[in-house]
Structure formats: structure tokens, C-alpha cells
Amino acid sequence: MVDHREYFYRRLHSLLGVVPIGIFVVQHLIVNHFVVYGEESFNKAANFMGSLPFVLALETFVIYLPILFHAILGVYLVLNTRNNPRRYGFFRNWMFLLQRVTGIITLIFIAWHVWQTRVQVALGNTEVNFQLMEGILTQPFYFWFYLISIIAVVFHLANGLWSFCVSWGIAQSPRSQQIVTYATIIVFLVVSYIGIRTIIEFV
């Protein structure tokens, strides 16, 4: 093989965004949705997730390392782009820009969110439960920060699913790419609903 590193890293970047990161995000939002059925229900679910066997290994290999790789290469890609939607205001060009904007928002949010929750738990300052999230989300600043960030994360995931389908050659014809666009809009709406419904419940 000649120099295929760039090719390999970009393919890995695209794959990791869906498996495992995309799956994890959807799972995370669905589990959080337990709060809609009551505080007790949420605590039970959070407890179950937190007490999975090999939890640290699962977190490291399914969540931390893939996100770290996806984020580092992602920032590099953002820096190597010259966005031009003002001159070329096509739909996909705007989506291309939004993918980068939401990627950066997601990165800032994840860093903050991990610091506020997982790191504080690891330091022994708190426990993952309803009170922790209620304490955060009843502050208006954090409520809006979480709300906007969740929408950004879900957008990044849904639009990322579209470009995943193109980048792996699954959707080739303009027609199939159009249909995938519609499908990812539905994904965006449904997953956003789950996320927003959840954080509203804490307030």
C-alpha cells in the first residue's frame, strides 16, 4: 500500500460518527427519556447504565476514544475548509457549513457536559441521578445551552448520516440522495423531540 493514511483516517472518521457514536447518542437520549415517566424511573435507568459490567472499558472504547478521534480530525477538517455559501448558496452547501458549525458546538457541549457530570462523579462530588440534572437544568443559562446543544448534536448526527450514505457509496443517484435527505430530516425531528422532551421534564 502506498500512502493511504488520509484515506483510512477519513473512512474511520465517517464510520465512527455512526458506529459507535451515533448509536450511543440515540441510546443516551432514549435512556434519558425515562425521566418522562418520573424521577424514580430515571434514577433506575441511570443506575442500570452506570452499573453495567466493564463500564469503564465500555465508556473508553465505545464513547471516549471514538469521540476524541472524531473530534480531533473534525476540527482539523473545519480548519481546512473555506466556506462559501454566500457565493454558492445551494442547500447542500449550507448543510455543509452547518455540519461544521454544529460539530464545533457539539465539541464544546460534550466537553462541558462531561465535566459537569461524568468528571464530577469520578471525583466523588456527586452521583448520577435526577437531582444532578435538575440542579443544572433549572438554571436558565444551562437550560438554553443544553437545548441548543442537543439540537446541534442531533443535526450533526442526522446530516452526518446523510453524508455517511454518500461517502460510503450507499446512495449514489441524485434521487436516492434526495430520499436519504428526507429520511435524515425525519431522524432529526424524531431524535430532537426525544431530547427536548427530556430536558423540559427536568424544569
Q: Which residues contact another protein by CB under 8 A? A: 1-7, 10-11, 77, 79-84, 87-88, 90, 92-93, 95-97, 99, 162-163, 166-174, 177
Query: What is the per-residue DSSP string for 106-159?
Result: HHHHHHHHHIIIIIHHHTTS--SSHHHHHHHHTSHHHHHHHHHHHHHHHHHHHH
Shortest distance, position 87 Cβ to another protein, whole Å = 6
* Residue 156 is assigned to a ligand binding site: yes
CA atoms of 201 and 5, how far apart (whole Å):
46
Q: Is 191:160 a contact under the CB 8 Å cutoff?
A: no
Q: Return all residues near 197 (Cβ < 8 A) that are at least 6 apart.
A: 33, 36
Q: How far apart are CB 10 and another protein at their closest, in Å?
A: 4
Of the candidates 48, 161, 156, the one whose C-alpha atom is nearest the C-alpha of residue 97 is: 156
Helices (H), the chain: 5-16, 23-32, 39-50, 55-58, 65-79, 91-114, 120-122, 130-137, 140-167, 174-202
Q: Of 120 and 177, which CB lies nearer to another protein in the complex structure?
A: 177
Q: Could you tell me the smallest distance in angstroms from the CB atom of residue 155 to another protein?
A: 15
Closer CB to another protein, 51 or 80, in the complex: 80
Closest contact distance (angstroms) between CB of 160 and another protein is 10
Query: Does the annotation list 33 as a binding residue?
Result: no
| Residue 13 marked ligand-binding | no
Identity of the residue, 33 or 100, whose beta carbon is nearer to another protein in the bound complex: 100
Q: Measured from the CB atom, is 10 or 44 closer to another protein?
A: 10
Is 70 annotated as ligand-binding? Answer: yes
Distance between first and last Cα of the chain: 56
Report in angstroms how near the CB of residue 112 gets to another protein at its nearest: 26
- Pick between residue 5 and residue 51 the one whose CB is nearest to another protein: 5
Using CA of residue 73, residue 108, residue 54, residue 37, what is the dihedral sign?
A: negative
> Binding site residues for heme, as ranges?
28, 70, 113, 156
> Binding site residues, as ranges?
28, 70, 113, 156
